[in-house]
Amino acid sequence: MTATETIVSGGSATKRPRRRVEPIYYLFLLPTLVLFTLAITVPGVVGIFFSFTDSIGLGEWSFIGFTNYIALFSDPAILQSYLFTFGFSIATVIAVNVIAFLLAVGLVSRIRIKTGLRTIFVIPMVISGIIIAYVFNFLFSNSIPAVGQATGISWLQTSLLANPDLAWVAIVIVTAWQAVPGTLLIYIAGLLSIPGEVYEAADIDGASKRQQLLRITLPLVAGYVVINVILSFKNFLNAYDIIVGLTGGGPGTATRSIAMSIIFGFNSGDYAYQMANATIFFIVAVLISLLQLSLTRGRKVF
C-alpha cells in the first residue's frame, strides 16, 4: 500500500503519494545507532541510575533515593561552580559575538588584504585549548608582571590569575581569543549572503554606513546572531581545558567550572554525588537545546 498525505487547496482536499524511505537507508543508519547507544545512551542511563545511590564508582553500593540531589542544592561549592560557569559563559558570549561581528563586517568590506586577514584570524581555532592556556598562563604569570615592574605600572606587577576577583577576566580573554574565529566564519557567511543590491539601494536613498549597519545588516543576519549566541553559550558551559591550564580552578575554587567539579569529584571518590550533578547539568543542556530549536525554527540560515 502506498502512503499518502492530504493537501487542502481551494477548499478541496487531494491526496498525493508520500515519499517512502528506502530500507537501505536504515541499514546504513544501524551501525551509527548501535555505536551511539553503546557509547552514549547506555552509559548515560547507568550514570543516572547510580546518581540515586551512594556508589564511589566501584564496589558495593546502596540505593539512597534523592539524597544526592537534595545535597547538591545546599552545597556552596556546587552553587559557586554554577554561578561562575553561567557568569563566565554570558560574559564570554557577549565578548566573542561583538568582536566576531565587528571583525566580520571589516573582513567583508572592500579592503585589499581581507583574504590574508581571514586566514590569520582563524589560526587560534585550530590550536589545542590546553596549549593556548599554558601559553597565556606564562604571559599572565611572568611576561606581563615583568613589563609592569619595568615600566613601574603597579597594577600590572601582580598576576591576574592570582586575584580571586579578577581571574575570571583572564579566562574570558583566553576563551574569547580561541572562540572568535569559529564565530567569525559564521558571521562572514551571513554577511556574504546579503545581496549587494540592498546596500546599493540604501546608498541611493542616502543612508549612512551606521544606518546600513543597524537597519539592514543586523536585521538580515539576526538568524546567524541567534545561532552563534546559543551554540557558543552551550560550548562555554562545558569549559574545562582552558580553565585547567590557566588557573586549575583557583585561586581556591573561584574559577572552578561545573565540568571541573564533576571530573574532580569522580577522581576523589564522589562518583554518585557528582553523577547527580552531571544529571542536573544534562537537564540544563537539554533545556538550552530546546530553546535553540524554538528560536531557530523557521529561520533560513545555512
Is the pLDDT reported for residue 33 higher than 80? yes
d(CA 227, CA 101): 13
In this predicted model, what pLDDT tens digit does every residue of 146-194 receive, in sequence order? 998 988 888 888 888 988 899 999 999 999 999 999 999 999 989 988 8
CATH number of the domain enclosing 154: 1.10.3720.10
Is the pLDDT reported for residue 254 higher than 50? yes
177 grid coordinates: 581569543
**Residue 45 maps to a domain:** no
From the CA atom positions of the chain, what is the Rg in Å?
A: 25
Band (8; pLDDT cuts 50, 70, 90): low
Name residue 138's amino acid.
Answer: F
**Residue 13 maps to a domain:** no
Among candidate residues 176, 222, 219, 183, the one with its CA nearest the CA of residue 104: 183
**Residue 3 maps to a domain:** no
Q: Which pLDDT belongs to residue 51?
A: 93
d(CA 138, CA 144): 9
**Residue 37 maps to a domain:** no
Angle at 182 between CA 292 and CA 102, to 5 degrees: 95
Q: Which pLDDT belongs to residue 13?
A: 54
**Residue 117 maps to a domain:** yes
Give how far the C-alpha of residue 89 lies from the chain's centroid of Cα atoms, to the nearest Å: 8
250 membership: H or E segment, kind and range: none
**Residue 16 maps to a domain:** no
Q: Which pLDDT belongs to residue 16?
A: 59
Is the pLDDT reported for residue 14 higher than 70? no
Q: What 3-state class would DSSP assign to 159?
A: coil
Among candidate residues 114, 136, 107, 115, the one with its CA nearest the CA of residue 124: 136
Band (302; pLDDT cuts 50, 70, 90): very low
Q: Could you tell me the residue range of the domain that residue 105 belongs to?
A: 69-296
Name residue 233's amino acid.
Answer: F
In this predicted model, what pLDDT tens digit does every residue of 49-83 receive, in sequence order? 999 999 888 888 999 999 999 999 899 999 999 99
- Please state at what angle helix 271-296 crosses helix 258-267, rounded to 10 degrees: 150
Q: How many domains does the chain have?
A: 1
